[in-house]
Structure formats: C-alpha cells, structure tokens
Amino acid sequence: MGSEDTQDNPNLLPGLSEAGASDADRRGDRGPRGKAGASPKHHDGHRDRLRERFEAAGAIALADYELLELVLFRTIPRRDVKPIAKALIARFGTLSEVLGASVQRLGEVSGIGPSTALDLKIVAAINERAMRSELKAREILSSWSQVLAYCKTAMAYETREQFRILFLDKKNTLIADEVQQTGTIDHTPVYPREVVRRALELSATAVILVHNHPSGDPTPSRADIEMTKTIIDTAKPLGIAVHDHIIVGRAGHASLKGLRLI
C-alpha cells in the first residue's frame, strides 16, 4: 500500500491492508444506516475519546479490549468494533492469547475476517520481534526474566510443538534464535547431532534449549529430560555448554536446570 492509499483513508496505519475494512462488509455485517451497521459518524466520538485517553495517559489507562479497539479502528473503520474486541477477549481469555491465536481461530469470532485476523498477527509479530531485539547485545543469563517473557510470547500459544534454540557466544550474548524443528501437538523430533552441528556453524559456545507444550502444562516429560541429557553429553566434548532447557505453556514455564533435572 502506497502513501496515497494512506492519504485517501486516514483511518488506516501504513502497512495495514484496507481489505480489513471490508471484512465485515463481505460477511454481511454492515447494514443500512441506523440498523446493523451505523454511520461512521455514529462512532467517531467514541473513537476520538479513546485515542485521546491513550495519548494522554498511555496504555495503562485502557483495558485490554480497548487496546484491541485501537487496532481494530484502523482495520475496520466503518463499524462499531467494541463488541468485536470484547468478543475476542471473551473467546481467548487474555490479550496474549488473542495475539497468539492462529488466523483460522481468530476468524471464528464474528466480525473478524481474514484481513483483520492477519493484521492482528502482524501486531503480534511486531511485539515478538521487539522483545527479541531487546535480548540482543545483552548478557542473556543476567536478563533471564526477559528471556522467559520472550519465549512465552513466541511459543506458548502455538498449536504444535516447536523446538527452538538460542545460540550464545562466549559472553553469553545472543548470536541467533532459531526454530530447529516443528512437530505435532505432543511431539517434536530432536536430533542432538544437528543441534551441535548448528552451534559449531555459528561459533556458539553455549545454547539454551526451548520448546513448548501445546497442552498448556509445562511439566517436563521423561523424554524431554532424556533428550536434554543426550544433547549435553554430545555438546560438552566440543566445548558447547547447555545452560538450560525451558519448556513453555499457557500455564507458565518449567526450567530443567531450576528443577535440578540436568
């Protein structure tokens, strides 16, 4: 979308598709004035007041559904989006889970079409990228709470297991963050030699292993523990340390090192 598109429709953020504005239209949700779909002027006052509150006091002054409204204003400019924002929170439970939901699941909420669902995933991706950028150039082991927050944002709401590796240099700063394998709802194949091979390619001297449990329960399984010990045994002779294996889920996280399982 070029700059002239933004000028034609000032309600749209640069980079967000105007197609999102017609999601409700394509679903038959916009009706005549005064009926299912009211005139845009009907909602202008509410939108202006919400923006003014955000500008004056920041996000702390707004409820989670109101922050969602601010995003939906941009993608659905011709409709009252408060009920949609509230429906998203009611359906998924938290703002984090709304942003973590797949495009398909978001589309199951009335009023959310494919373009609007994609715009919400763009917001989620920006948030994840910003959190990861905060980890770069930091000593990871002294920023552990940020590491855990990033891992939860990136993986806790995935519907399939992912095995991620944070590769660190000798100062324990982040070299790379890679998803090595994606599996099923309850299993991800992990190959210790591939973990070590990639660490050597990146000249990493340490790694942090991370994977998610789509069930929501981060309790490590016996297979998780045995696999971690195999990676440790494979990496150690080559001078590569395994600092921890973190398991994340919607219910929290588990650290194998913290549990003294490695």
The values of phi and psi at residue 198, to 5°, are -70, -35
pTM confidence score: 0.67
- Between residues 212 and 8, which one has the greater pLDDT? 212
Quick: pLDDT tens for 9-67: 444 444 444 444 444 433 434 333 334 444 555 566 788 888 889 888 888 889 999 99
The per-residue pLDDT for 23 is 44
Quick: pLDDT tens for 223-258: 999 999 999 999 999 999 999 999 999 889 999 999
The region, left, alpha or beta by phi > 0 then psi within -120 to 50, assigned to residue 28 is: left
Q: Name which of 168-172, 178-182, 204-208, 214-218 the model is least confident about.
A: 178-182
The per-residue pLDDT for 43 is 64
Q: What is the mean pLDDT of residues 182-200?
A: 84
The per-residue pLDDT for 98 is 93
Q: What is the mean pLDDT of residues 176-180?
A: 91
Quick: pLDDT tens for 118-144: 999 999 999 888 888 877 767 787 888
The per-residue pLDDT for 142 is 80
Quick: pLDDT tens for 78-94: 789 999 999 999 999 99
Architecture of domain 139-255: 3-Layer(aba) Sandwich (3.40)
Q: Which residues contact 56 (CB under 8 A, 6 or more apart)?
A: none
How far apart, in whole angstroms, are the C-alpha atoms of residue 167 and residue 202?
8
Q: Decide if 41 contacts 35 (C-beta within 8 A).
A: no
Q: Which residue has the tokens 């080559």?
A: 238
- List, by residue range, all CATH 3.40.140.10 domains of the chain: 139-255
The per-residue pLDDT for 100 is 87
Task: Tell me how far apart the 2 most distant CA atoms of the chain are, in Å.
Answer: 73
pLDDT category, 186, cuts 50, 70, 90?
A: low
The per-residue pLDDT for 41 is 55
Quick: pLDDT tens for 110-120: 999 999 999 99
How far apart, in whole angstroms, are the C-alpha atoms of residue 4 and residue 197?
49
Q: Decide if 210 contacts 151 (C-beta within 8 A).
A: yes
